[in-house]
Structure 1
Amino acid sequence: MRTFIRNASLFCAIQLVIGGAFVLNATRQPQYGFMAAFEDKIRLLHEHDEPTLIVLGGSNVAFGIDSPTLQQHCDMQVINGGLHAALGLQFYLDVACDYAREGDVIVLVPEWMLLTGGTRPDPELRQSMVQESPSSWRYFCNLSGDELKKFVDDQAFSVLAGLVQAGSEMPTESRDLHKFEQAQLPDAYSRLKFNLQGDFVGHHQLGTTKDVAKMNGDVSCKPAKIMKSVVQINACAEALRARGVEVYLAYCPVPTPHYEKHQAAYDSIHELLVKQLDVAVLHHPAQVKYPADYFYDSVCHLNLTGKMTRTELVAQSLVAQSRQGKFHVATKPSERTSR
């Protein structure tokens, strides 16, 4: 019996070592899906060593902020931390709390759904996120008891199985994505389509691919749900301010037809946020309503024309805030280069 137990224990130990090696190898595989870009974004956040303007939110940030332009106006290095709205509001707040340092400026730009109640991560996206970006795992450990149990029961095993399968395939490419930034991939939504500051640039030459004027979505002012988002943002902002970090809120862009249809709701949401948030709101929703042909393929994704217009607004809004003594930005684009 002792021999059997010893042999069984040895067998299990060997399998654990093999499985662990597979999983470790899988995390080193070169992943080039859209969500894998989070690996590069947290590397930028981890390595920044001077006051930095960090823009956080879903894909409206990834597609709709031009970091070089923002950096030129604001006299600070810029990191675009935007990726996908379905990761949830708390995801981006946790990233801010993990990586912001004294002197940094955080601009939160949640999609409207994240401000009006959609604060939790989408289960299916969460699974693909962990598979493509293993570093994201820790941001899903703050789930409530029921959500965590469901994640373990329904998803954790499949995630582990996927990692083991990937780990059995030897990597053939370096994990350095910029070595392959000229690669031609069939999917425009790729990790390779982000620039060195975290902006998605793969859509710059594509104009408008869908009629966003026909897209719709319910936007309503439900104070109880909005206040849940307010509580989360205020708690994060308080913690960041204690570390010498300034926090601001900006709005996700809206197609003009959609804004005009739901103007009363947008105005009510804005009034509630201005009243209840402990952070400055950079502009009114009406300032981010843009013609339908300023969008790429959804109501949140601006094309290059829309991106540049929206970035100028954010830059000007931050300059206006700096005049109140919150932090220093250049008053004209040439100031940075003239020093």
Structure 2
Amino acid sequence: MKKKLFYLWALLLVPIVLLLSVFCLPSQYEKSYMGELKYKYNRLKNTDGKRIIIVGGSGMAFDIDSSLIKENFPEYEVVNLGMYAALGTASVLDMAISHCHAGDIIIYAPEQNTQPLSMYLGSDFAWQALDGAYYMLPFFMMSEKNISLMAAAFPRFAVQKLKLFVTNSAPNPDSVYRKSAFNEYGDIADDLPQNTMLNGFDENTAVSYDTSVIPADYVSYLNECDKKATQKGSTLLFAYCPANKAAVVEAKESNFESAIDGYDLFLRNTLAIEVIGNPYDSIMDKEWFYDTNFHLNSSGKKLYTRQFIRNLKAYLSDSSVTAIDIPDKPSLLYAANTEKSVLTSSTYSGNTTITSITVGSDISMIKDYAFKGCTSLKEIHINNTVPSSIQIGQHLLDGTDANIYVPAEALSLYKTDYRFSQYSDRLFAEKQ
């Protein structure tokens, strides 16, 4: 009887502990990249007058200089809601639509990628962003599917938050992916001098302008957003996010222009939202980028923001001059092919006997499917304390059940890193 009572109390205690961990402990993700969302939301909610509200993934966080927009449109305040593709863009757009008012211009510019161009919700990242700001929760519960995703992620988040609190190891990144990298507008404000990618682009993330990238339910959702914005006296526009030309699939084909023109025509004929600008201005040379195929360096940000302003002026029939000086193209950090720094898919893929792999600190890129078919592989050890220095893609662990082990002092950095965070449930500290 005592044993049964013990199990009953344990069953009752577990959900209570999880709830207390989430809602009563101090925020553990305040200094992380995701800790910025509540500040963007509060600026959106509390800014009066006409606003230019920018919505998208991290591309908009990196690629826009809101101070230049403010200089050219002094009658508007600027709110940059650009956040993170792996979080999803629909919930953030819902925030903008919910809090827009008469005279606002909402410019939606998602990265040219399947996650931001869909109804996708990254529930694990959503809980990190909500930490200490649960008043934003309704925007992540707008459908039955999202409610299910958020409910499924809740125990994982609660356990992780409790662990961070008990071990006093709340994430405090020192890379650009941190809360303090943002300015008052919501832009990334760090100085990013040049392209840091091997060969100038991320080979793990191809960019395509095929019309199949955008699903029909997403088109319906955007058109419904347009109706809601119009009813509130706001204007919703669509703009192209920068994309690294070296990674664009169609740029390597003879029908490049016809493919891009076809995609642009598809958007203009399908969306109720007006499309401003043209895709060619956003497909930019690799020298203008920083660390992904969608993040510009500081020089590239000026170039794109100037065109962004010109496109908006054209829409508003504003003929004033946009006087923004553009620096020369920065040199590439890795100007030559550096295959010795790349762990290719041919190195281990298909090896059915290997059980442990160590990735040295000299490796700067791990290609997708690098461990596919490694049926006996249990552990991947990465001897690097700076996760942002390693390029990985969305298929790193496809075809293997192995977990990733990293230096203990860098575990929280890996779990909140722009790329590695998508594998947070399979990231562990090295065994002492």
Report the TM range for the smaller structure's normalisation.
0.7 to 0.9
- 1:220 positional shift: 4.8
Deviates more, 1:115-124 or 1:268-277: 115-124
Residue 244 of structure 2 corresponds to which residue in structure 1? 255
1:250 touches 1:281 (CA, 8 Å); kept in 2?
yes
Residue 175 of structure 1 corresponds to which residue in structure 2? none
1:210-240 deviation digits (Å, cap 9, x = unpaired): 1334635152524594433221111001101
The answer for unaligned runs of 5 or more in structure 1 is: 173-183, 324-328, 335-339
Deviates more, 1:124-133 or 1:84-93: 124-133
1:81-137 deviation digits (Å, cap 9, x = unpaired): 101012223223211122211111100001112588543123543454444764543
Residue 49 of structure 1 corresponds to which residue in structure 2? 48
Instruction: Kindly indicate whether residue 196 of structure 2 is the aligned counterpart of residue 209 of structure 1.
Output: yes
Q: Which amino acid aligns with 1:208?
A: N
- Cα separation, partners in 2 of 1:231 and 1:80, compared to 1, 3 Å: same
Q: Distance in 2 between matches of 1:301 and 1:187?
A: 14
Q: Distance in 2 between matches of 1:224 and 1:65?
A: 24
Of all paired residues, the percent bearing the same amino acid is: 21
Instruction: Kindly indicate whether residue 175 of structure 2 is the aligned counterpart of residue 187 of structure 1.
Output: yes
Q: Distance in 2 between matches of 1:283 and 1:267?
A: 12
Q: Distance in 1 between matches of 2:173 and 2:227?
A: 43
Residue 137 of structure 2 corresponds to which residue in structure 1? 137
The answer for unaligned runs of 5 or more in structure 2 is: 324-432
- 1:254 positional shift: 1.7
- Cα separation, partners in 2 of 1:208 and 1:116, compared to 1, 3 Å: closer
Q: Distance in 2 between matches of 1:208 and 1:199?
A: 19
2:19 touches 2:158 (CA, 8 Å); kept in 1?
no
RMSD between aligned alpha carbons? 3.3
Deviates more, 1:66-75 or 1:159-168: 159-168
Of structures 1 and 2, the one with the larger relative CO (CA 8 A, separation 6+) is: 1
- Is the partner of 1:200 in helix, strand or coil? coil
Q: Distance in 1 between matches of 2:132 and 2:292?
A: 23
Q: Distance in 1 between matches of 2:138 and 2:84?
A: 17
1:115 touches 1:226 (CA, 8 Å); kept in 2?
no
Instruction: Kindly indicate whether residue 196 of structure 2 is the aligned counterpart of residue 197 of structure 1.
Output: no
Q: Distance in 2 between matches of 1:101 and 1:302?
A: 31
- 1:271 positional shift: 0.9
The number of residues matched between the two structures is 305
1:265-319 deviation digits (Å, cap 9, x = unpaired): 4332211111111121111111112110100001000011111111111111111
Q: Distance in 2 between matches of 1:214 and 1:24?
A: 38
Q: Distance in 2 between matches of 1:19 and 1:125?
A: 17
Residue 320 of structure 2 corresponds to which residue in structure 1? 331
Q: Distance in 1 between matches of 2:280 and 2:321?
A: 25
- Is the partner of 1:302 in helix, strand or coil? coil
Q: Which amino acid aligns with 1:280?
A: E
2:91 touches 2:139 (CA, 8 Å); kept in 1?
yes
Q: Which amino acid aligns with 1:281?
A: V
Q: TM-score, normalised by structure 1?
A: 0.78
Q: Distance in 1 between matches of 2:21 and 2:306?
A: 47
Q: Which amino acid aligns with 1:70?
A: I
Counterparts of 1:233-252 in structure 2, within 5 Å, are: 233-252=222-241
Residue 156 of structure 1 corresponds to which residue in structure 2? 154
Deviates more, 1:25-34 or 1:193-202: 25-34
